[in-house]
Amino acid sequence: MKQNVKQIVEQVIEDVKAKNPLQEEFHQTVEEVLTSLIPVLEKNPNYIKYKILDRLVEPDRQIMFRVPWTDDKGEIHINRGFRVQFNSAIGPYKGGLRFHPSVNLSIIKFLGFEQIFKNSLTGLPIGGGKGGSDFNPKGKSDIEIMRFCQSFMTELYRHIGPDVDVPAGDIGVGGREIGYLYGQYKKIRNSTDQGVLTGKDLTFGGSLARIQATGYGVIYFVEEMLKEAGKDLKDKTIVVSGSGNVAIYTVKKAQELGAKVVAMCDSDGYIFDEEGIDVELIRQIKEVERKRIKEYAMRKPSAKYFEGNKGIWTVKADIVLPCATQNEIDLESAKIIVENGTIAVGEGSNMPCTNEAIKYFLEKGVLLAPAKATNAGGVATSALEMAQNSMRLSWTFEEVDEKLKDIMINIFKKTRDAAKEYGYGTNYLAGANIAGFIKVADAMVAEGIV
Ligand code: GLU
């Protein structure tokens, strides 16, 4: 049976590669997740019988559409829009929208696949989906962003709904974009349906603490993982890549707990500030003024700016928290990180480490907090936003933050226990995959072959 299960898993991975050629990021996540599930499948032959893996890797549906829009000079542009509704076994499709020129079907499918397990780990009733566009928001005027969002929603609206599919933000999509998307949805549907999108402004159904949730959640998870190893965040030197929503609130919470964050980056380069990052200044530059991180070094004398962001991994730190984008840490950077004596890596962005980098960290005994579990606080708080919308009331910041913290502690426990139970020790990546998978697989068995 043992050999047999391994062969079955390898066959599913081969089939995914053959059926979805060139979708490298999607292949990467499928390979990483499925391989770690072998001991679970050996113990539960029903999952093989009901073809759970074959069903999981094929999205319920993949929607691709044209998004025409006009720039401020009157020139017409055509972008491609995506929404992949991956799995609804445990609840409505849930996952963000990413607007970035690198977006293609492979990127959306890898994100959607990861989202299935992440959402399951939250313990809340949300399925997995993801969407976005290859639209590049960089340098666009506010009105151009609005026109793009309206055009995007003019197609997307027919596929979503509070009990069907609930998009939110991701890279390139924040509160401003969610507002424009919601306005257009409401106009077309003539229905307020607040729960159709999350990450909304507080004035029309947004949840307190949603903005902070992903970053705070990253630190709550890392804190639990360190505690388990008899360590904590106090006085630790930390490098956080990125300077978007996840990175900013990760830094803020890490500092609150006594850590010193010395470096951050954007896609152009990184800053090193030996006095510790002034996160309010970063927020001002990146979120309010929408400028490049280079600005920080011009305004803060203790900081240095370096062109190119890969160099951020050469900065010596006790803990590194990749919070920028996928595959930002490859094997080469992983080797430098280990050489620098780093004790823990916490994945804030989705799939920030290549499979080779992950393998290397685990071999070298670096504690790895996997993205699916570590960054689940964002989507968990989105589910809390949906709950508040359904109840037509709102909780205080403290109430939401407390719920978020409980959820993150529970995710850590589930992850740790599943890793232990299936012989993975402190391989929390395998633990997160397994704990996330079992709930979805059981639902898929119970709901029949659909
Ligand atoms: N884009 C975020 C993620 O990767 C949040 C999704 C959501 O809130 O639906 O989980």
Q: Looking at ligand 1, which residue's alpha carbon is closest to its atom 10?
A: 379
Beta carbon of 210 within 6 Å of any ligand 1 atom:
no
Give residue 247's pLDDT. 98
Find the 38 Cα to ligand 1 centroid distance in Å: 27
Q: Report pLDDT digits (tens) over 142-200.
A: 999 999 999 999 999 999 999 999 999 999 999 999 999 999 999 999 999 999 999 99
Find the 262 Cα to ligand 1 centroid distance in Å: 27
Q: Report pLDDT digits (tens) over 31-89.
A: 999 999 999 999 999 999 999 999 999 999 999 999 999 999 999 999 999 999 999 99
Measured between alpha carbons, how far is 263 from 270 in angstroms, rounded to an integer? 7
Q: Which residues does residue 401 pair with via DSSP β-bridges, in sequence order?
A: none
Residues 181 and 227 in one domain: no
Find the 66 Cα to ligand 1 centroid distance in Å: 23
Measured between alpha carbons, how far is 156 from 94 in angstroms, rounded to an integer? 14
Tokens representing residue 283 in the block: 């927020």
Residues 231 and 120 in one domain: no
Q: Is residue 440 part of a domain?
A: no
Residues 309 and 179 in one domain: no
| Strand pairing report for 269-273 and 260-265 | antiparallel
Give residue 433's pLDDT. 98
Residues 65 and 166 in one domain: yes
Question: Using alpha carbons only, how large is the chain's radius of gyration in Å?
Answer: 21
Residue 328 has phi, psi (to 5 degrees) of -80, -20
Cβ contacts of residue 384 below 8 Å, gap of 6+? 124, 207, 210, 395, 400, 403, 404
Q: Is residue 153 part of a domain?
A: yes
| 1 pLDDT above the threshold of 70 | no
Residues 253 and 176 in one domain: no
What's the number of domains the chain is made of? 2
Find the 393 Cα to ligand 1 centroid distance in Å: 22
Residues 182 and 96 in one domain: yes
Find the 382 Cα to ligand 1 centroid distance in Å: 8
Measured between alpha carbons, how far is 324 from 352 in angstroms, rounded to an integer? 8
Ligand 1 atom closest to the CA of 170, numbered from 1: 1
Cβ contacts of residue 65 below 8 Å, gap of 6+? 80, 81, 82, 155, 156
Q: Is residue 334 part of a domain?
A: yes
Look-up of token digits 């639902």: 443
Tokens representing residue 276 in the block: 């510790």
> Which residue from 121, 112, 124, 50 is spatially nearest to 87, judged by alpha carbons?
112
Q: Which of 379, 381, 400 to mutate to test the pocket of ligand 1 (most atoms within 8 A of CB)?
A: 379
Beta carbon of 170 within 6 Å of any ligand 1 atom:
yes
Beta carbon of 122 within 6 Å of any ligand 1 atom:
no
Q: Give Cα separations from 14 to 30, 42, 149, 396 (angstroms).
A: 10, 20, 37, 49
Beta carbon of 241 within 6 Å of any ligand 1 atom:
no
Find the 260 Cα to ligand 1 centroid distance in Å: 27
Give residue 2's pLDDT. 60
Q: Report pLDDT digits (tens) over 191-249.
A: 999 999 999 999 999 999 999 999 999 999 999 999 999 999 999 999 999 999 999 99
- Region of 368 (left: φ > 0; alpha: ψ -120 to 50; beta: rest) is beta
Residues 230 and 81 in one domain: no
Find the 381 Cα to ligand 1 centroid distance in Å: 9
Residues 315 and 266 in one domain: yes
| 412 pLDDT above the threshold of 70 | yes
Q: Is residue 228 part of a domain?
A: yes
Residue ending a domain, among 369, 384, 409, is 369
Q: Report pLDDT digits (tens) over 356-407.
A: 999 999 999 999 999 999 999 999 999 999 999 999 999 999 999 999 999 9
Which uninterrupted H or E stretch holds 62? strand 61-70
Q: Which of 382, 386, 388, 389 to mutate to test the pocket of ligand 1 (most atoms within 8 A of CB)?
A: 382
> What CATH number is attached to the domain comprising 157?
3.40.50.10860
Q: Is residue 149 part of a domain?
A: yes
E strands within 160-207? 165-168
The amino acid that residue 164 corresponds to is V
| 3 pLDDT above the threshold of 70 | no
Q: Report pLDDT digits (tens) over 301-325.
A: 999 999 999 999 999 999 999 999 9
Q: Report pLDDT digits (tens) over 323-360.
A: 999 999 999 999 999 999 999 999 999 999 999 999 99
Beta carbon of 378 within 6 Å of any ligand 1 atom:
yes
Beta carbon of 322 within 6 Å of any ligand 1 atom:
no
Beta carbon of 350 within 6 Å of any ligand 1 atom:
yes
Ligand 1 atom closest to the CA of 382, numbered from 1: 8
> What CATH number is attached to the domain comprising 284?
3.40.50.720
Q: Is residue 165 part of a domain?
A: yes
Beta carbon of 269 within 6 Å of any ligand 1 atom:
no
Q: Is residue 413 part of a domain?
A: no
Cβ contacts of residue 292 below 8 Å, gap of 6+? 266, 268, 285
Residues 360 and 218 in one domain: yes
Q: 3-state DSSP call for residue 431?
A: helix
Residues 218 and 126 in one domain: no
Q: Looking at ligand 1, which residue's alpha carbon is closest to its atom 9?
A: 95
Beta carbon of 124 within 6 Å of any ligand 1 atom:
no
Look-up of token digits 């970053």: 215
Measured between alpha carbons, how far is 264 from 397 in angstroms, rounded to an integer? 27
Measured between alpha carbons, how far is 355 from 405 in angstroms, rounded to an integer? 29
Residue ending a domain, among 369, 386, 407, is 369
Tokens representing residue 347 in the block: 């994945």
Residues 365 and 308 in one domain: yes
The model carries a pTM of 0.97
Residues 188 and 288 in one domain: no
Active-site residue list? 130
> Which residue from 161, 129, 167, 163 is spatially nearest to 149, judged by alpha carbons?
167
Beta carbon of 200 within 6 Å of any ligand 1 atom:
no
Beta carbon of 95 within 6 Å of any ligand 1 atom:
yes
Q: Is residue 91 part of a domain?
A: yes
Q: Looking at ligand 1, which residue's alpha carbon is closest to its atom 5?
A: 379
Q: Which of 86, 98, 114, 115 to mutate to test the pocket of ligand 1 (most atoms within 8 A of CB)?
A: 115
Residue ending a domain, among 310, 344, 369, is 369
Residue-number span of the structural domain to which 114 is assigned: 61-193
Measured between alpha carbons, how far is 334 from 182 in angstroms, rounded to an integer? 41
Find the 208 Cα to ligand 1 centroid distance in Å: 16
